[in-house]
Amino acid sequence: MGFWRWKNISPIFSGARGLIEALRIEGVEVVFGIPGGAIMPVYDELLGSPIRHVLARHEQSAAHMADGYARVTGRPGVAMATSGPGATNLVTGVATAYMDSVPMVAITGQVATRLIGTDAFQEIDTVGIFNPITKYQFQPRRPSEVPRAVKAAFYLTATGRTSPVLIDLPKDVQMEKEEMVFPESVDIPGYRAEYEPDPLHVAKAADLLLAADRPVLLGGGGVIKSNACDLLVAVAELLNIPVATTLMGKGCIPENHPLSLGPIGMHGTYHANKLIMESDLVICVGARFSDRSTMNLSEFTKDRKIIHFDADPSEIGKNLKPHHYVVGNIRKSLRILLEILKVKTVKCENTAWRGRWMELKSEYEDAIFGASGEFTSPRIIRKIRDMLPIDAIVTTEVGQHQMWAELHYRVLKPRTFLTSGGLGTMGFGFPAAIGAKTAKPWVPVLDIAGDGSFLMTSDSLATSVQENLPVIVCVFNNSCLGMVAQWQRAFYGGRYSGVWLGSKPDFVNLAKSYGAEGVRVNGMLDFERALREALKSEVTTVIDIPISPEENVLPFVATGSSLNEMIVR
């Protein structure tokens, strides 16, 4: 239902009705949420609308679901909660999306305007709380302000550096009726949605690139967000230069592509970390040089030129001072770069650098450092890749299993690998998988989980069963908070503190108690059989995979070390 419906008339609607109509105008098909007193008028209006409501079991999960939906579609996800505890429960989910620049509109109920500031029941300063974790916050004070707030929220969340936006809607504003106009667009004086790349800046980047002896392309999440992966790959192929990624950029080049090095960083691949430190030029596209990616920053910038392409001008020079930069829409920037390069160059021949990276890559690409035995996490993750179709979506929780996924799960298409890179939120993967499944019910969705993380949002099993959104959860069950345990082994003399998950539930029975499937596997054949069944199952399947609590994720760059100083055993 489009905008045309309210184009030439100004209907008299309640704020709640206005909200729902405005959401429909924005093309919203699904909202994830939990109702409560302060948002009941909106829930009542939802009933009559074609918008699907997916009932979460915790608002944090509702936000992760909206996040997963947004990451796979590129369209804003919508999460909804009541005032007070509903809003505060949303915080972690919204912050997770904020740190990974995911478009999302969070809608919260609020107490009636006359009660705001009185510490009324379930009143909390939602706008104040969400200010640091959203791009903007709206609190319409009249029903007639609702359509503009929604239009502006969707505009802000989905343009420029995408990011969550909050709409906090007081209950009286939801209930009162007023004449309202549904605007076609909004004007926000302080906001520039997009910067046009300066062709001269791009040309200089091209010159620097062509003059380099040992160039590496570094693709970040921004390449995926701006749907520019094909262009990045085209640039790499034209010049025959290797492409490394950040964790968020994983998938911007198919990871089985001969030019793909995989991710750099604390748990980057051996050859990506080595090569980037041997390069004389890094063209970083749509990444923010986070500490987890660059590790020791002065080593990272020593002896090499850095060129930074970013959509967000405030990223330039934030973490490091580049030798040259291009601000602007990444797709447009890369298109210009490609055109300039095509004019200036013929396809590159073999060089010493090409020889070097091919050698390192072929030597280490299949290396599984530290893993001894057939049924180890890296091998299980490679098996998962082998068994999933290329467009299957994989999410992760946070911990060792996530880093194994970073290292060993080869992403073949953009928007098929969802992980909480910026905030590192345990409990993200499972609800995000459900959100992804909502968007693409026809593709298999699998969460690579840790036992600790899964327990944080396992109540979403209820949602997945009730809403008929079957996903697969592979619990890498080491009976501990493995990542923390690994650090305690590495940096605290093996003194384990607070990491053993002693009395945890039996995941098989846990799944079954929700009406989902559960299966425990021992050995690779067993796992293959279980995954094959799970792929056919009509309900969510939890595959419990007991693994050793002592396994380390390797290679590993310790904080403060340079990327090429990797611990490999």
Which residues of the shown chain bind ligand TPP in the complex (CB under 6 A)? 397-401, 424-426, 450-453, 476, 478, 480-484
Nearer CB in complex with other proteins: 48/132: 132
The site partner of 67 among ligand TPP, Mg ion, other proteins, none (C-beta below 5 to 8 Å per kind) is: none
At 93, the amino acid letter reads G
Sign of CA dihedral 167, 169, 175, 177: negative
**Which residue among 2, 48, 190, 493 contacts other proteins (CB under 8 A)?**
190
CA angle 260, 264, 265 (to 5 degrees): 165
Q: Which of 1, 9, 12, 188 binds other proteins (CB under 8 A)?
A: 188
Which of 43, 69, 136, 430 is close enough to bind other proteins by CB under 8 A?
Answer: 136
Under the criterion CB under 8 A, does residue 129 sit at the interface with other proteins? no
478 binds Mg ion (CB under 5 A): yes
| Cα–Cα distance, 353 to 350 (Å, whole number) | 8
The 3-state DSSP class for residue 392 equals coil
3-state secondary structure of 251: coil
What angle do the packed helices 400-408 and 377-387 form, to 10 degrees?
Answer: 50
Q: Which is nearer to other proteins, 164 or 399 (CB)?
A: 164
Residue 170, classed as helix, strand or coil, is strand
User: Using the rule CB under 5 A, is 544 a contact of Mg ion?
Assistant: no
Residue 135 is a binding residue for other proteins (CB under 8 A): yes
Q: Which stretch binds Mg ion (CB under 5 A): 218-226, 260-268, 443-451, 520-528?
A: 443-451
- C-beta of 377: minimal distance to ligand TPP in Å? 8
**Cβ-closest position to Mg ion:** 450
In angstroms, what CA-CA distances link 97 with 69, 118, 436?
11, 31, 14
Nearest residue (CB) to other proteins, 190 versus 498: 190
156 binds other proteins, rule: CB under 8 A? yes
Binding string, residues 370-409; x marks residues near Mg ion by CB under 5 A: ----------------------------------------
Can you tell me the distance from the alpha carbon of 117 to that of 457, in angstroms, rounded to the nearest whole number?
32
Q: Which is nearer to Mg ion, 155 or 507 (CB)?
A: 507
Cα separation, 109 vs 45, whole angstroms: 14
Compose the 77-116 pattern: x for residues touching other proteins by CB under 8 A, - for all others: ----------------------------------------
Least Å distance between CB 314 and other proteins? 4
Q: E-assigned strands of 147-256?
A: 164-170, 177-179, 215-219, 243-245
Angle at Cα 94 formed by Cα 112 and Cα 553, nearest 5°?
A: 155
Applying CB under 8 A, which of residues 11, 85, 313, 546 lies at the interface with other proteins?
Answer: 313
Using the rule CB under 5 A, is 482 a contact of Mg ion? yes
Nearer to ligand TPP, 176 or 551 (CB): 551
Site for other proteins in 446-485 (CB under 8 A): none
Angle at 282 between CA 278 and CA 283, to 5 degrees: 160
Q: Is 543 in the site for other proteins (CB under 8 A)?
A: no
Q: How far is the CB of 191 from other proteins (least distance, A)?
A: 5
- Rule CB under 5 A: say whether 451 interacts with Mg ion: yes
Give 48 or 128: the residue with its C-beta nearer to other proteins. 128
Cβ proximity to ligand TPP, 197 vs 452, nearer residue: 452
The reply on whether position 549 binds Mg ion by CB under 5 A is no
User: How many CA atoms lie less than 13 Å away from 444 in the CB half-sphere?
Assistant: 20
* DSSP secondary structure code for residue 197 in this structure: P
| 39 DSSP 8-state letter | G
Site of tokens 């602007």: 328
Residue 401's binding partner, choosing from Mg ion, other proteins, ligand TPP, none, with beta-carbon cut-off 5 to 8 A by kind? ligand TPP
Nearer to other proteins, 161 or 225 (CB): 161
From other proteins, ligand TPP, Mg ion, none, which one binds at residue 325 (CB under 5 to 8 Å depending on kind)?
other proteins
Is there a contact between 16 and 175 (Cβ–Cβ < 8 Å)?
A: yes
Closest to Mg ion by CB, 106 vs 483, is 483
Angle, to 10 degrees, between the axis of helix 524-536 and the axis of helix 377-387?
A: 40
Tokens of 268: 């980057």
Q: Which positions are catalytic?
A: 59, 121-122, 171, 483
In the complex, least distance from residue 503 CB atom to ligand TPP, rounded to whole angstroms? 15
424 contact, one of Mg ion, other proteins, ligand TPP, none, CB 5-8 Å limit per kind: ligand TPP
Kindly report each contact of residues 341-349 with a partner whose C-beta sits within 8 Å and lies 24 or more positions away, as own/partner.
341/206, 341/209, 341/210, 341/235, 341/238, 341/239, 342/238, 344/206, 344/210, 345/210, 345/238, 345/239, 347/238, 347/239, 347/240, 348/238, 348/239, 348/240, 348/241, 349/240
Choose the stretch contacting other proteins; rule: CB under 8 A; options: 111-119, 135-143, 517-525, 536-544. 135-143
Q: List all residues 6 or more positions away from 512 whose beta carbon is below 8 Å from its beta carbon.
A: 518
Contact of residue 429 among Mg ion, other proteins, ligand TPP, none (CB under 5-8 Å per partner type): none
What's the start-to-end Cα distance of the chain, in Å? 58
Residue ranges that bind other proteins, judged by CB under 8 A? 127-128, 131-132, 135-137, 156, 161, 188-191, 312-314, 316-318, 321, 325
